Amino acid sequence: MRPYGMLCVVFVALAASCVAAPSQTAPTAVATTAPAVTVATAPTVTAIPTATAPFAVIEMGDNFFDPSQLTVKVGTTVTWKVVGQSTHDLAARDGSFVNRTMSFGQTFLFTFTKAGHYGYVCMQHEGDGMIGEVTVID
């Protein structure tokens, strides 16, 4: 065999792996007839570091929180996101969190580390009933 014949084989192998790498689609047809085969050993391509951390989202409309009542577990990170056209803000009644005016698309994150009831308002629209409460349980 000539020397570059081997090189060609290596090149083909590299090319094949390069082509194969990005298109790692999860096996769609899960073999239901082979229970012993662990399909889940496929390499995890998407790295979601906080996949196990609980989170919740509260939308801030004009002029309301959705949901206005939310119960989460200790350690949950709650994201408030403005979805309305008006600007809004946040203030916990006990002062545990406060955030100045936010406009459409902006977010505020807070992680609840203690159980309790956390009432909060949008200071601009409290009079319009823009109030909410997060209940944190162990």
Q: How far is the CB of 111 from Cu ion (least distance, A)?
A: 22
Closest CA to 72 of 51, 50, 53: 53
Q: Quick one: which segment of 15-23, 35-43, 46-54, 115-123 binds Cu ion (CB under 5 A)?
A: 115-123
Which among 115, 132, 133, 109 has a CA at the least distance from the CA of 73?
115
Work out which of 64, 78, 82, 88 binds Cu ion, going by CB under 5 A.
88
Q: Using the rule CB under 5 A, is 121 a contact of Cu ion? A: no
User: Is the Cβ–Cβ distance between 89 and 100 less than 8 Å?
Assistant: yes
Q: What are phi and psi of 80, to 5 degrees?
A: -95, 130
Size of the site for Cu ion (CB under 5 A): 6
> Any contact of residue 122 with Cu ion (CB under 5 A)?
yes
Q: Which is nearer to Cu ion, 78 or 88 (CB)?
A: 88
Per CB under 5 A, 134 contacts Cu ion: no
We find the least distance from the C-beta atom of residue 80 to Cu ion, in angstroms, to be 11
φ, ψ at 122 (rounded to 5°)? -90, 115
Stretch of residues binding Cu ion (CB under 5 A), selected from 66-74, 75-83, 100-108, 122-130: 122-130
Q: Which of 25, 34, 26, 60 is nearest to 132 (CA)?
A: 60
CA distance 127 to 27: 54
Residues that bind Cu ion (CB under 5 A): 63, 88, 122, 124-125, 130
